[in-house]
A and B are shown apart, each in its own frame.
Chain A
Amino acid sequence: MNPDFINNDAMNSDPHQRARLLISLSGPEASNPERSWLAAHLESCPSCREFADSTGQTIRSLRGLSITAGARLVSTTQLRVRQRSLDLQRRQERFWMICTCCAAVTFCSAITAAVLWRGCAWMGQQARLPAPLWEGGFLVIYLMPAVLVGILLLARGTFLADYNGSYQDWS
């Protein structure tokens, strides 16, 4: 029971307002003293009694209103939810695959960068090239795979968007 169920409201200055509010909020929250006070007030106030009857009727009617969902709506929703669930699962799997690939590529790059650098330096010395030139060559060779893959992915994304309206819907 909550003793402050009604007491904190500004409406309680007027006993009729307080009674009507208590009637409207009829529920388990009202405390015993509040219930007793309301019963006593209703004994002596015909207008609040009439309001209580009317409100009781409204609440009974509200509880009597029934709305049911059709079987088709339920089965369609279940189907849509299952499809979306599969879609999210696939997306999650793809995400982890991409993460694993990125980690593997980073690891391989870190290992091969030193070897590639030495290889380029050796070739630069053999060909008597100035250092900035073979260093630029190293950068191009080192970044080329990533640039190519990026271009391919972008092209694929653009193609899918043109083909299907949106890239996301394709999967």
Chain B
Amino acid sequence: MADENTEIARGLRRRDPDLLDYLIEKYQHRLLRYLLYLTGRREMAEDFFQETWIRVLERGSQYDGRHEFSTWLFTIARNLVIDDLRRKRPASLDSLLDVDGAAPFDLPATGQPSAFDATVQREQNEQISAGMQHISAEYRESLLLRFQEGMSLEEIATVTGAPLGTVKSRIYRGLTALEPWVKGARL
């Protein structure tokens, strides 16, 4: 993995377009998912998706290959979103909590289990998806990085620029904030 990161760092310094094509394809779903959870709006997330890769091209020489590429990528994406918010109005990620007119998150197609199980699972996912749109963007971000990206607490702290204790607290509070939606799905 370290070798792969070193190779990526070398390629980014050269601004290798083939490497960038490969990285865009490799991280397409993960980056878009992160941006979508961060912004809550598909159009906005897609704009930031493109801008993030332009930024990766321009600042590729800053990536040293010592950390995971995905951590660096998410940090860039996050900074872009924050910068954009600051330009529009002085704010933190919390201003993304406004969900009026937000497009719902895509839900997965039902999987292999029985039709009943799949329906129940889908309903639960829908409830969680709805809940995610109503909780603070900072909680949403931490939950995504932890449970979908499988990042360690230290990596989440690096991406979000928050102290470790704050990260733990956000995950705990985020899960607690989602509890009513889980219970709603069970009723």
Residue of B nearest to A22 (CB): B172
B17 contacts partner chain A, Cβ-Cβ < 8 Å: yes
Q: Does B50 contact A (CB under 8 A)?
A: yes
Segment at the A interface, from B29-37, B69-77, B82-90, B91-99: B29-37
1/0 per residue, CB under 8 A from B, across A64-105: the answer is: 111111000110111011101100110000000000000000
- Does A31 reach chain B (CB closer than 8 Å)? no
Chain B residues with CB below 8 A from A43, complex form: none
Chain A 36-61 near chain B by CB (<8 Å), digits 1 or 0: 00000000000000000011011101
Taking a contact as CB atoms under 8 Å apart, the answer to whether A81 and B168 are in contact is: no
**A65 interface neighbour in B54, B129, B168, Cβ under 8 Å:** B129
Contact A80 B25 (CB under 8 A): no
Residues of B whose CB lies within 8 Å of any CB of A are: 15, 17, 20-21, 24-25, 28-29, 31-33, 36, 46, 49-50, 53-54, 57-58, 105-108, 121, 124-125, 127-129, 132, 143-144, 146-148, 152-153, 165, 168, 171-172, 175-176, 178-179, 182-183, 185-186
A68 touches B29 (CB 8 A): yes
What would be 28 A-B contacts, judged by CB atoms less than 8 Å apart?
A20-B176, A24-B168, A27-B152, A27-B153, A55-B179, A62-B143, A62-B144, A62-B147, A63-B147, A64-B125, A65-B129, A65-B132, A66-B106, A67-B29, A67-B33, A67-B36, A69-B31, A69-B32, A73-B50, A74-B24, A74-B25, A74-B28, A77-B24, A77-B49, A78-B24, A81-B24, A85-B57, A88-B15
